[in-house]
């Protein structure tokens, strides 16, 4: 059964319905084959851009949809539930655009945002490095000023859309002043000296390309510095709060899809003369799965509503990401169990979704890092 939603306006209902219809018609039927072939669905992102589904939470004056995060995340949930790789991609593209939207000057916004948000250009977010994953202050990639240009050298790791994107939001060190020495740049994918590496061989999300990027004397104009020198860490962390809500939405959608598959199977399959869903042991498992999914959605929306009202939402974003991705892992595993032997085969999507759920506990800050963020905020009061 589809998620029950209380959307604020008829326009919001129409947007979420558009996302659901596209997900049902275009995404779900093609996900398994593309994942099996490790085929990046670039044409899907172009279509999402044409429908306005890549630009949902950005201001209309820059070509965005002007939607609240409360609405955007529920549309993203529908996309992620149909095809997690695409849902993650939509979230990452939005993450890559946030730096310009929130911290760029007016000239940068007017110059770049219409193209970034329209779907013709796909973005990626370059923060992690081989020796600096959960600790961005340990970053080694360096940007050196040479008059009107910067020259970038270093390696970025675990880049979603690496080698597929048209632009990269890149964080690099501009001084040795620890956490205050990082800066943010918008780097075009065709910059000379930028070398995407072969994609990582992953256990899930195989249609979503993840790769390292090597920067060898990549020269860009100083106008591609976003914010001021030294603003990079604050820009990165602010964007990650929103990105964590995006991953929470994708994880919630994945959990809902697993629940729906398990309920349908349990309502059709009989053992010992009864439908599976009539056996108390399995019925209770399904009830726990439903509670986990709806709890994830509630926390995700709490973070979204705080963001929409201009309130601090960092702790709520970390809680939502933690709860939703842990729930997705548990619910997908339980869905495989409900289906029994059938769940362990590729005839049903739950085995693929179980592999996909694991990644969500790792990226956008591991769930151990989320617990650290939450605990630190509790300590500060």
Domains of the chain: 10-117 (1.10.540.10), 123-232 (2.40.110.10), 234-380 (1.20.140.10)
Q: Please work out, in degrees rounded to the nearest 5, the angle formed at the alpha carbon of residue 368 by the alpha carbons of 362 and 371.
A: 125
Q: How much is the pLDDT for 177?
A: 84
Query: What integer is the mean pLDDT of 279-301?
Result: 96
Percentage of the chain beyond pLDDT 90 is: 87
Are 296 and 251 in contact by the 8 Å Cβ rule? The answer is: yes
Report CA dihedral (304, 308, 313, 316) to the nearest 10 degrees: -20
When pLDDT is cut at 50, 70 and 90, the band that residue 1 belongs to is low
Residues with active-site annotation:
364
pLDDT over 90 (residue 84)? yes
What's the CA gap between 123 and 116, in Å, rounded?
7
From residue 70, alpha-carbon distances to 9, 51, 180 in Å are 11, 19, 32
Task: Name, in order, each residue with C-beta under 8 angstroms of 4's C-beta and a sequence gap of 6 or more.
Answer: none
pLDDT tens, position by position, 133-182: 777 778 999 999 999 999 999 999 999 999 999 999 999 999 988 778 99
Is it the case that residue 121 has pLDDT exceeding 80?
yes
Q: Is the pLDDT of residue 222 over 70?
A: yes
From the list 285, 258, 227, 278, the residue with the least C-alpha distance to 109 is 227
The C-alpha atoms of residue 299 and residue 279 are separated, in whole angstroms, by 31
**Continuous segment of H or E residues that includes residue 380:** helix 367-380
Surface-to-core class of residue 153, CB atoms within 10 Å of its CB (0-12 exposed, 13-18 middle, 19+ buried): middle
Can you give the C-alpha Rg of the chain in angstroms?
A: 21
What is the pTM for the complete model shown? Answer: 0.95
Looking at residue 3, its pLDDT comes to 85
């Amino acid at each position: 059964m589809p998620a029950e939603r209380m959307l604020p306006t008829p326009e919001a209902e129409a947007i979420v319905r558009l996302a659901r219809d596209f997900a049902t018609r275009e995404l779900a039927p093609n996900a398994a084959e593309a994942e099996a072939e490790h085929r990046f669905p670039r044409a899907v992102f172009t279509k999402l851009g044409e429908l306005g589904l890549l630009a949902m939470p950005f201001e209309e004056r820059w070509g965005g949809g002007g939607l609240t995060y409360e609405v955007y995340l529920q549309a993203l949930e529908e996309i992620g539930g149909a095809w997690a790789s695409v849902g993650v991609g939509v979230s990452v593209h939005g993450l890559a655009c946030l730096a310009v939207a929130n911290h760029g000057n007016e000239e940068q916004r007017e110059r770049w945002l219409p193209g970034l948000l329209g779907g013709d250009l796909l973005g990626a977010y370059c923060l992690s490095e081989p020796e600096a994953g959960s600790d961005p202050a340990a970053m080694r990639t360096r940007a050196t000023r040479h008059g009107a240009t910067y020259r970038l050298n270093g390696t970025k790791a675990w880049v979603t859309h690496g080698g597929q994107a048209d632009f990269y939001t890149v964080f690099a060190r501009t001084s040795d002043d620890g956490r205050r020495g990082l800066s943010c740049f918008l780097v075009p994918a065709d910059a000379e000296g930028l070398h995407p590496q072969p994609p990582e061989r992953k256990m899930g999300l195989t249609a979503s390309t993840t790769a390292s990027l090597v920067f060898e004397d990549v020269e860009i104009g100083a106008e591609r510095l976003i914010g001021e020198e030294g603003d990079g860490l604050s820009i990165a962390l602010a964007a990650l709060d929103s990105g964590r809500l995006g991953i929470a939405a994708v994880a919630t959608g994945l959990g809902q899809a697993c629940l729906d598959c398990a309920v349908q199977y349990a309502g059709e399959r009989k053992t010992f003369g009864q439908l599976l869903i009539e056996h108390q042991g399995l019925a209770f498992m399904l009830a726990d799965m439903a509670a986990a999914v709806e709890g994830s959605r509630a926390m995700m929306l709490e973070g979204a509503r705080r963001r929409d009202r201009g309130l601090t939402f960092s702790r709520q974003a970390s809680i939502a990401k933690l709860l939703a991705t842990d729930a997705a892992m548990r619910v997908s595993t339980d869905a495989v169990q409900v289906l029994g032997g059938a769940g362990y085969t590729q005839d049903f999507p739950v085995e693929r979704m179980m592999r996909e759920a694991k990644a969500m506990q790792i990226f956008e800050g591991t769930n151990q890092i989320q617990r650290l963020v939450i605990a630190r905020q509790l300590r500060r009061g």
